[in-house]
Structure 1
Amino acid sequence: MGDVRQRNEAAVVIGGGVIGLTTAVVLAERGMAVRLWSPQEPGETTSAVAGGLIWPYRIEPQARALDWAVRSFRHFSWLAEQPGLTGVRLVRGSMPDSSPPPEWAALTGTPPRAPLVDMRTYLPYLVGRFEAAGGRWERRAARSLAQAAAVAPVVVNCSGLGARELVPDPSVRAVRGQILVVENPGVEEWYVAASSGADETTYLLPQPYGVVLGGTAQDGAEEREPDPATAEAIVRRCAAVDPRLADAKVLEHRVGLRPFRPSVRLEAQRLPDGRGGEALCVHNYGHGGAGVTVSWGCAVDAARLVGPATGE
């Protein structure tokens, strides 16, 4: 690649999780020359651990999050028309301890029917869509925002938990989620009870590869190894909902650290580019447990902040 700074439409997106990938797709499909930097393969990110239910969860501010989620819901519904390609299906389920806002209830119906995303299929789909639009994925860690600003006139910071050091932003903290995958004994609908406890949730999410059982929401915890006692407690809670799960064969344990912030940071600022000029930096991070759910709405808003280069 030549000197991308000579092209006004060039951008570097930092972060290879669902927020970074989706934002990169939107920018690339609007005609920008986009490079995506990530120190991890998409399957190694926190997004790969996500259960995949499209529903606003542990994200602030609620009003903006609902708007992002509603707009994302429409895109996921479109993606569900090709479930084998995208990994997105529309699935019935129940959330007995929650009354969704009217805007969300109107989308999901009664009983609710919501997109359920198989992240093992969906993340590679996003990579393929990004590359088909001319995007360039690079396994590369950003040492600083200034490093990216020296490469391209537009930087989009989707670094998630990494924003603590990269920005730096001490308001970003981890919320640890532990789940497990078991063989499916016949579960066809999802179930979520978010009020199991201060740091617990109970959910059953049927995926093509098994049933995802969850979970935890441990604020400030950063242990990445699964805890056996926690896994046993998750199975007990889920088996109380569906007794068939009590003896289901365990296929996998997973742990992910959700990048929570008191409010999502989606805003623009100017950065020195190291050459006496400035680069535009758009921040898009801090989505907590709802990164997949709000990904398309946030990506479109981030593209709008990028401005004229995307045709907005």
Structure 2
Amino acid sequence: MDSGPGIEVTVVGGGVIGLTTAVVLAERGRRVRVWTREPAERTTSAVAGALWWPYRIEPESLVGEWSLESLAVYEELAEHPDETGVRLVEGVHGGTRLDWLGPWASRVPGLRPAHAGEWAAGTALWARLPLIDMSAHLPWLRERLTAAGGIVEEREVTDLAAVDAPVVVNCAGLGARELVPDPAMRPVRGQLVVVENPGITTWLTSVDPASQSPTYVFPQPGRLLLGGTAEEDDWSLTPDPAVAERIVERCAALRPEIAGARVLEHRVGLRPSRHAVRLEREELPGGRVLVHNYGHGGAGVTVAWGCARRAAALAYPAV
């Protein structure tokens, strides 16, 4: 595979992890190219509900720092929501408590137990968190990369070792299962329903980490995202009408005004799940370097900037 003139780094994968990693590298002065099998608008990242929150991702000991680093970036990006797609939105996490979370939670500004009027039944947390419109954020990342001198090419990679660049960063997500190969990579299927927004301005989640039926309501510009599912080892990208009906019913039980909302679209995405994120450096023959940055489960957006900075440091360790 032709490395192209002056290319120092090839990032394999054009979702939120790949694009963010490429931006970090390019803005540190590296000549970066992204090879992606499909445009960002057709990646798993494009389907994400994209509320900042560590969900279905390990190891917990590292995820907190990656998430907090990313939170700081999103708080800055939220100053220009129309450009970046990032907004700070208030909402409630039903069914969780601060003492059930890791040490990172104490460093999230404004995260607190919900008052009785904010959650009708039992334990919940209230917060003002980044909610990212991926239809705007992914193109913005691509434009930021281009502005830093990077390029994006639609090109499928079948052999990481054959990518002709001094440094290769593997951000292939679920594709790493075949590409590495890494049989530890597994899909966790997520289905959601897009409806007209009847006037809801706050987000809501009710998530049991062991359940296949998390419930969430995310207000995005011009629409409302309703979810969802967490079906392990399910590769189907076809929306299930019965599942969609149950999603709407669960969301309407929490916000009754949803019941009559007109359905605009059905979406399915496969979360790239692994027992732990793989973020490590591998030496290739001839002095080349391969950095792995994949397996982010349901929190790719949440940890994108923290993991991108770690990947960049692994690619070019400080002397």
TM-score range relative to shorter protein: over 0.9
Pairing 1:212–2:225 present:
yes
Runs of 4+ deviating beyond 2 Å = 2-5, 99-106
2:26 and 2:145 in contact (8 A); partners too: yes
Over the matched positions of the two proteins, sequence identity in percent amounts to 54
Q: Which residue of structure 2 aligns with residue 182 of structure 1?
A: 195
- Tell me how far 1:197 sits from its aligned partner: 6.5
Aligned 1:1-312 pairs, distance under 5 A: 4=4, 7=6, 10-99=8-97, 100-109=101-110, 110=112, 111-148=126-163, 151-195=164-208, 198-272=211-285, 277-308=286-317
8 Å CA contact retained: 1:59, 1:264: yes
More strand by share: 1
Query: Residue deviations 1:193-214, cap 9 Å, x none?
Result: 1128621100000000211000
> What TM-score comes out, normalization by structure 1 length?
0.93
CA distance in 2, matches of 1:162, 1:216: 21
Code of the residue aligned with 1:123 in structure 2: it is L
Q: In the aligned structure 2, how far is the partner of 1:206 from the partner of 1:198? A: 23
Letter of the 1:58 partner, please give it. Answer: R
Which string of whole-angstrom CA distances, capped at 9 and with x for unpartnered residues, describes residues 53-107 of structure 1? 0000000111211110011000000000000000000000001211243532432
Aligned AA (1:142): V
**TM-score (norm: length of structure 2):** 0.91
TM superposition shift of 1:3: 6.0
Do the aligned residues in 1 keep the contact of 2:57 with 2:296 (CA within 8 Å)?
yes
In 2, Cα distance between the equivalents of 1:141 and 1:253? Answer: 27
Q: Distance between the aligned counterparts of 2:230 and 2:222, measured in 1? A: 23
Whole-angstrom distance in 1 between the partners of 2:235 and 2:3: 39
In 2, Cα distance between the equivalents of 1:234 and 1:125?
30
CA contact (8 A) 1:93 1:190 kept: yes
Task: Check conservation: 1:23, 1:300, Cα contact below 8 A.
Answer: yes
The runs of 5 or more residues in structure 2 that have no matched partner are 113-125
Q: Deviations over 1:127-155 (max 9, x none)?
A: 0000000001000011110121xx21000
Equivalent position SS for 1:112: strand
* Residue type at the aligned position of 1:70: L
Instruction: Show the counterpart of 2:118.
Output: none
Q: Partner letter of residue 24 of structure 2?
A: V
Cα distance change, pair 307–160 in 1 and its aligned pair in 2 (3 A)? same
Secondary structure at the counterpart of residue 288 of structure 2: strand
Q: Deviations over 1:4-48 (max 9, x none)?
A: 58x5x7000000000000000000000001010001000000000
Tell whether the 8 Å contact from 2:60 to 2:102 is kept in structure 1 after alignment.
Answer: no
Q: Across the two proteins, how many residue pairs are aligned to each other? A: 301
1:222-266, Cα deviation, whole Å (9 max, x unpaired): 100000000000000000000000110001100000000000000
Query: 2:18·2:172 contact (CA, 8 Å) conserved in 1?
Result: yes
Cα gap change, 1:284 to 1:79, in 2 (>3 Å): same
- The two structures, once aligned, show a CA RMSD in angstroms of 1.6
Q: What is the distance in 2 between the residues matched to 1:195 and 1:31? A: 43
Q: Retained in 2: the 8 A contact 1:4–1:10?
A: no
Amino acid at match of 1:129: R
Which ranges of structure 1 fall in alignment gaps of 5 or more residues? none
